[in-house]
Amino acid sequence: MGLAKIKQALAELAVTETIEVSKTVPAPPAAEGEEQGKPVEVKEMIEQNMLFTPEYAKKGYHLDVKVTAENVARSAKILLDHEFFLESITGVDWIKENQIEIVYDFNHWHTLCRVVIRTRTDRANPEVPTISEIYSGANWHERETHDFFGVTFTGHPDLSPLLLPEDADYHPLLKDFKA
Amino acid sequence: MSADVIDKSLETFVLNLGPQHPATHGVLRVKLTMDGEYIVHAEPVLGYIHRMHEKMGENRTWAQFMPNTGRLDYLAALSYNHGYAMAAERAEGIEVPERAEYIRCITVELNRIASHLLWFGAFVLDLGGFTPLLYAFDDREQILDLLESVTGARLTFCYFRFGGVYNDIDDNFITGTREFIKRLRSRMPMYHDLVTNNIILIKRLKGIGPISQEMCRRYGATGPVLRGSGVNFDVRKHEPYSVYPEFDFDIPVYTDCDSMARYMVRMDEMEQSMRIIEQGLDKLPEGPVMAAKAPKILKPAKGDYYCAVEAARGSFGIRLVSDGTNTPYRLKLRSPTFSNLSLFAEACQGMLLPDALALMGTLDLVIPEIDR
Amino acid sequence: MAYFNELYSGTKSLFIGMGITIKEFFKPVVTLQYPHESLTMTARFRGHIELVRDLESGGNKCIVCGMCQKACPSGCITGNGEKREGVKGKVLTEYTLDFTKCSLCGMCVESCKPAAIQFSKDYNLAGPSREAYIYDLLKRLEEQK
Amino acid sequence: MTTELIRLLAFLVGIIAFAALNAAYLVWVERKGAAHFQRRIGPKEVGPYGLLQPLADGAKLMSKQLLIPDGVDPILFKIAPLMVLVPAVMSFVTIPFGEHLAARNIDLGLLMVFAFASINVLGLLLGSWGSANKYAVIAAARVISQNIAYEIPMLLTAIALVMATNTMNLNEMVSLQGGGFWHWNLIKLTFTASPLTPIAFLIFFTTMLAETNRAPFDMAEAESELVAGSFTEYSGMGFGVFFMGEYANIVIGAALTTVLFLGGWQSPLPFLPNSVVWFLMKMYVIIFTVVWIRWTFPRTQFYALLNLSWKVLIPISLVNLIVTAGWLKVF
């Protein structure tokens, strides 16, 4: 089980996103009589597969994959087949972009390979399919994320509050929640 | 009466184990559906001391969150301090001086022994033996005295800082630690004779509460629970951090998957921690204990960072999301016992109540860490 | 045969265990009789904070910079000062610690540039009411004279 | 006739006082013993060495409300503690403390002790059932099966002794053990007892622990599993009487062991006079051992406890019985 293999397996699931990248483009070839120009920095919108291999020493994980909500379960299945285990599930509230990001952390017992799967969902109506049938441990992590962010994990057997009081109707980790 | 006439709901009853129960160590509640003394279904109910540390983290500066980390797992507070300090250092790119790293490892391992000693005592107490608890506490007190002389606190140490440690250790600590290790080495055979080899204990733990590897994977169990199931996974070796690569130590692994295996893993880990501490004291380099260039106010670059350490109960992970300001944007604490406890419901099905409690004891639960 | 082996080793293990506890029975006690005896705290013991006496002036060393207040994660320190004639800088008029919120982390002591606060060595902290834990540290410094 | 009545009354008062005092001070012995096994001091504030602690405990328990929760059967709930205490006290009637120091010298004394001892478990059952608590009911179910399982080996070893001594009169049984410690049933070096008596003694002692619900067989309480087992709903003196009964049972168990195996009031060496002091000394050594065992071992698992009885103790005590019978036939 190597990083390359799991990368390949997950590659097709990763979403393609239009992102803005700045890159240095060499100056157009000098026309006759003109001096060779300096390379120029241009901003460009490109389509990119959202699968990264970040620098481990800096980030603490090896593979960062962004998938659509529908593909979360498929990626989890792939990871389980490759003997990964689930470390945690959590959310991040990107209030400015009006989105909630769900982050799944996976790790492997024998190979040093941490994989992060992330997906974004609409903040007003956050819904992500559950992976609790694939990873039984996800059951509680998803319940916790539902407590804190109000994310509905469709197909989850029981989303009643786990850490919050049983009658809690608030989601404290949302950025607009004030105690 | 034929079998189908019997009302199934009358055959079982619900037993409320906790939140105030001698075996749940804190305020865990387990709703047990019992058939006589057999457990049909178990449902842990959490959240009795949920304090929303993660939200607190979003409302204070990076440095101000440090005391909170010691209050997750109050029995191994230093591992959690270490994890958080490392995560923030990774985000900010702070280099920690070598002496500080050695001091961190020595104190964390001392704390690990203290935690395992307390677990040992409390576990035997779960099984009905009172005396080993007090012997273990006697030894644990020595560790707490040592750590108090360095950190100033006995439980919530809050000793690490971004870029190093708060205080340097002194000669008293070094000689004291060496003496303690000598003392504990001579006490370990006593513990084994009194408890490990005791026929009653063997009968209660051998083959009881099996947790398979496959189950560990599905639930994400880590730490001694996983190592008792025969998986050689320890963050200290798997993902070497701090100065652990400098030390020669083994990861105890037992393949029996039962309560005895988990018990033995922890007992052996104490010996390994002692080895690490001895080597750490031998190799301890001179030098500063705080990075010279450590900024007073942290403002890590935008992005997210993950950092894991091997705490006494398993892999403690921390995910930081920074938006470039002096407060964390999001701070996720991955607590090992949360995952370890989640497998309890499945593992204890069909077990007898006292066996299930023995199983729960070997999970080594610290409720504030689960509830956060 | 295994049956008898287990019987023998099992019974033996029980007697070994009893041997250990009886040995401990005759060893001296290790506990301290708390209200009658008490420990001196180590030099680095982190109790609640107190103001440091300035040996030259006999007063406190505080320059009312407010760093401790800012450093405190729980907001339990309230300090106030005023300008007085003939004195350089501000003079401390109020310094209270709400010990009910304090988590004894020591961030305030670390942040204090003039080293005007330190950890006290008090640990016998019992009181009849919540209000008993709102310490007026200036008053405390006065009383310690 | 009147002298006989006065004698009986005096003994009755004496026995009740003895049982109550012992039960109360056993709590002190237990706490002090536990403390020293754990290298603590234990009670020390009330009186010298904490010797007045039982009085303080008693005063505290008596001043507490006897809480009767909802859904409880009030009659059973109130009777149960007495059903544990009274039979235990009654058992003292036949115990020969000294050569002429027994309330009643009954020919079937041994049988009577066993008869009364088995009422104790009924008290626990009624109390548990009456208190309508799930933990208590689980504990009661355990205690019943435990007592049934352990009464068998206990009686089997006792029968072997009765066969060897030809009497059920406890005083006579003690008389037969006179003339130095090598005449005690424990290690009788004569040919009248089978060579297995030391093992019989171990079995008897183990079953005695189980019958009195003492650690490592304390299924009735099992505080780390069943909160407080049968006593979960009891408060104040209800709890106090239960405990007096439990401790009185331990005294009975220790006294019976002393009578059957350790020669009762007989002195260990022939040139020393026989006296009640020997009886008490032996009894307290047994009691200390009981405390010692409690503070050494973890609790047994319930099925391990039954296994121990059915697979180990009963077969061995049967073998002991047969060997004794054969031995008596041969010699």
pLDDT digits (tens, 9 = 90+) for A75-86: 888 888 888 888
Q: Mean pLDDT over all residues of chain A?
A: 80
Residues B173, B179, B180: CA angle, nearest 5 degrees: 85
C108 and C59 within one domain? yes
Of D40, D141, D299, the CB nearest to B128: D299
Contacts of residue B148 in chain C, CB cutoff 8 Å?
42, 44-45
Query: Cα torsion for B90, B95, B98, B104, to the nearest 10°?
Result: -40
With respect to residue C39, please indicate whether it lies within any of the assigned structural domains.
Answer: no
Contacts of residue C28 in chain D, CB cutoff 8 Å?
39
Q: Which is nearest to D235 in space by CA: D83, D120, D77?
A: D77
Q: Residue ranges of the domains in chain A? A: 3-18+48-154
A81: enclosing H helix or E strand: helix A72-81
Q: Please answer whether residues D194 and D324 qualify as being in contact, where contact means their C-beta atoms are separated by less than 8 angstroms.
A: yes
With respect to residue D58, please indicate whether it lies within any of the assigned structural domains.
Answer: no
pLDDT at D176: 76
Alpha helical stretches, state H, chain D: 2-37, 53-63, 74-91, 109-117, 119-130, 134-165, 170-175, 197-211, 223-226, 236-261, 276-294, 302-307, 314-330
Q: Please answer whether residues D24 and D244 qualify as being in contact, where contact means their C-beta atoms are separated by less than 8 angstroms.
A: yes
Residues 6+ apart with CB under 8 A from D164: D185, D192, D193, D194, D324, D328
Q: Min CA distance, C4 vs chain B (Å)?
A: 13
Q: Give the chain B residue nearest A106 (alpha carbons).
A: B220
Alpha-carbon span B357 to B209, nearest angstrom: 9
Residues in chain D predicted with pLDDT less than 70, given as ranges, are: 1, 101, 103, 182-183, 186-194, 331
DSSP characters for B215-270?
A: HHHHHT--THHHHTTT----HHHHS--TTGGGS--------S-SHHHHHHHHHHHH
Of D34, D134, D222, the CB nearest to B128: D222
Question: For chains C and D, what is the number of CB pairs under 8 angstroms?
Answer: 34
| SS3 sequence of C75-142 | CCEEEEEEECCCCCCEEEEEEEEECCCCCCCCHHHHHCCCCCEEECCCCCCCCCCHHHHEEEHHHHHH
Residue B295 banded pLDDT, cuts 50, 70, 90: confident
Q: In this structure, what token pair is assigned to residue B110?
A: 């001392």
Q: Say if the Cβ atoms of B128 and D224 lie within 8 Å.
A: yes
Contacts of residue D41 in chain C, CB cutoff 8 Å?
29, 31, 33
Neighbour count for residue D261 (Cβ, 10 Å)? 26
Q: How many domains, chain C? A: 2
Chains A and B are touching, with contact defined as 3 or more CB–CB pairs separated by less than 8 Å? yes
Q: Please answer whether residues B87 and B80 qualify as being in contact, where contact means their C-beta atoms are separated by less than 8 angstroms.
A: no
Q: Which is nearest to B318 in space by CA: B69, B104, B61?
A: B69
Q: What is the pLDDT of residues A113-159, one digit of tens each?
A: 888 888 888 888 888 888 888 888 888 898 888 888 888 888 888 88
Of A84, A105, A164, the CB nearest to B317: A105
With respect to residue D276, please indicate whether it lies within any of the assigned structural domains.
Answer: yes
Alpha-carbon span D302 to D320, nearest angstrom: 26
Q: Which letter, b or e, does each residue of D19-35 get, where b requires 16 or more Cβ atoms within 10 Å of its Cβ?
A: bbebbbebbbbbbbbbb
Alpha-carbon span D308 to B197, nearest angstrom: 18
Q: In this structure, what token pair is assigned to residue C5?
A: 């082996």
C17 and C81 within one domain? no
With respect to residue D46, please indicate whether it lies within any of the assigned structural domains.
Answer: no
Residue C62: give its domain's CATH number. Answer: 3.30.70.3270
Alpha-carbon span B73 to B85, nearest angstrom: 15
Of C22, C31, C33, the CB nearest to D292: C22
Mean pLDDT across the stretch C44-54?
83
Q: Please answer whether residues B110 and B277 qualify as being in contact, where contact means their C-beta atoms are separated by less than 8 angstroms.
A: yes
Q: In this structure, what token pair is assigned to residue A78?
A: 């792939």
**Is residue C25 within 8 angstroms of chain D, CB to CB?**
yes
Inform me whether the pLDDT recorded for C51 exceeds 80. yes
Of B153, B166, B194, the CB nearest to C20: B194
Q: Say if the Cβ atoms of C7 and D40 lie within 8 Å.
A: no
With respect to residue C35, please indicate whether it lies within any of the assigned structural domains.
Answer: no
Q: Which is nearest to B200 in space by CA: B128, B297, B109, B295?
A: B128
Contacts of residue D34 in chain B, CB cutoff 8 Å?
130-131
Instruction: Please tell me which residue, D198 or B83, carries the higher pLDDT value.
Output: B83
Contacts of residue C42 in chain B, CB cutoff 8 Å?
148-149, 152
DSSP three-state, residue A165: coil
CATH of domain B8-371: 1.10.645.10
Question: For chains B and C, what is the number of CB pairs under 8 angstroms?
Answer: 67
Domain span at residue D170 reads 67-330
Q: In this structure, what token pair is assigned to residue B83?
A: 């994890």
Domain span at residue C130 reads 49-143
Mean pLDDT across the stretch C107-111?
85
All chains having 3 or more CB pairs closer than 8 angstroms to chain C:
B, D
Mutant choice from D296, D313, D319 vs C, greatest count of C C-beta within 10 A: D296
With respect to residue D235, please indicate whether it lies within any of the assigned structural domains.
Answer: yes
Mean pLDDT across the stretch B81-97?
87
CATH of domain A3-18+48-154: 3.30.460.80
With respect to residue D92, please indicate whether it lies within any of the assigned structural domains.
Answer: yes
Residue B113 banded pLDDT, cuts 50, 70, 90: very high
